[in-house]
Amino acid sequence: VSALVALQSCQCLAWKPHPVVAWGAESQQVVAGYSDGTIRVFSISRTEMELKMHPHAVALTAIAYSTDGEMILSGGKDGLVAVSSPRTGMTIRVLAEHKGSPITVLQCTRKQYRDFGAEGGELWLATSSDRRVSVWASDWLKDKCELLDWLSFPAPAGPEDLGSLPPSLAAFCPWEPGTLVYVGFGMQKEALFYSLRKKQVVEKISLPYFATSLSLSPAARFMAVGFGERLLRLLRCPSSEAQDYAGHDDTVHLCRFAPSGRRLLTASHSAILLWELTAG
């Protein structure tokens, strides 16, 4: 696989969701976004590239599958978000709402048909470096994509180079439907819980530093936050009970809960750590 794309650097990666009925090796695919604006889909079982698409003119910065695995959402350094079909290899939609600021997060989640008064079977969000989050309801089979909410978080005057600031990160909250969590450079060092129904921030959790990575457990009320100070904080919600862990050699730039919620993967400059969460 590495030999196929030796001249380009991989910027982002996403696993294809497993089909509900089939857990076989044939469904083991990953999609990768590259510095030349291309997307490549790889088969893990066959260790080969299955598809190459070129929806962006600049480097990719974020990528995600739709919840059913039928679409690929990709975001670029220029802030454009593309929706592409891995079945046809075609890009079916390009969204320019975040144009001018790199996309930092793309995330999809299932939703009920009439949640928030919008049609569609999926809710998804895009976050960009300029502290903006857009939330969408989509039905890709019917070519429907509706903007539900547009969030812009304030911050003190900072350097013009957004890349030197802590990243803007957002995630849907698994245990509070209709709620998303946001961290980023702002007036305070905190994690914000925003209700899509109430259209307002409903909870704030203070943090010791500005966050550099974020993950919410899909199985329990735990939130993991990484910092540039080589620190990982595990928060139990809603009590905000916190446990701090050292052990990284640099900025904790990635943290991801496993689907079971029992393990947590974190990464810094030259270390990848696997944490096991015990009950209690």
Vertex 21 angle, CA 19 and 22, to 5°: 65
pLDDT of residue 256: 95
166 in a structural domain: yes
Domain-embedded: residue 223: yes
Distance between CA atoms of residues 60 and 78, nearest Å: 9
C-beta of residue 231 within 8 angstroms of C-beta of residue 273: no
Could you give the CA distance from residue 206 to residue 280 in angstroms, rounded to a whole number?
A: 23
Helices (H), the chain: none
User: Which of 81, 97, 199 lies closest to 149, judged by CA?
Assistant: 199
Tally the domains of the chain.
1
Residue 242 placed within a domain: yes
**Per-residue confidence band for 3, with pLDDT thresholds at 50, 70 and 90:** very low
CB burial of 6-36 (b: ≥16 within 10 Å; e: otherwise) equals: eebeebbebebbeeeeeeeeebebbbbbbbb
Residue 29 near residue 41, CB atoms below 8 Å: yes
3-class DSSP state of 163: helix
pLDDT grade, residue 1 (50/70/90)? Answer: very low
The answer to whether position 50 is within a domain reads no
Query: For residue 31, is it within any domain?
Result: no
Residue 197 maps to a domain: yes
Does some domain include residue 11? no
What the block records as the tokens of 154 is: 């304030």
Tokens describing residue 187:
């007036």
User: Which domain, by its residues, includes 162?
Assistant: 153-279
Residue 177 confidence (pLDDT) above 90? no
In a domain, 173, yes or no: yes
Q: What percent of the chain has pLDDT over 90?
A: 70
**What's the CA dihedral at 59, 161, 214, 72 to 10 degrees?**
-20
Task: Please tell me the distance from the alpha carbon of residue 155 to that of residue 49, in angstroms, as a whole number.
Answer: 42
β-sheet bridge partners, residue 153: none
In sequence order, what are the beta bridge partners of 200?
195
For 242-269, the pLDDT digits (tens) are 999 988 999 999 999 998 899 999 999 8
CATH number (domain holding residue 273)? 2.130.10.10
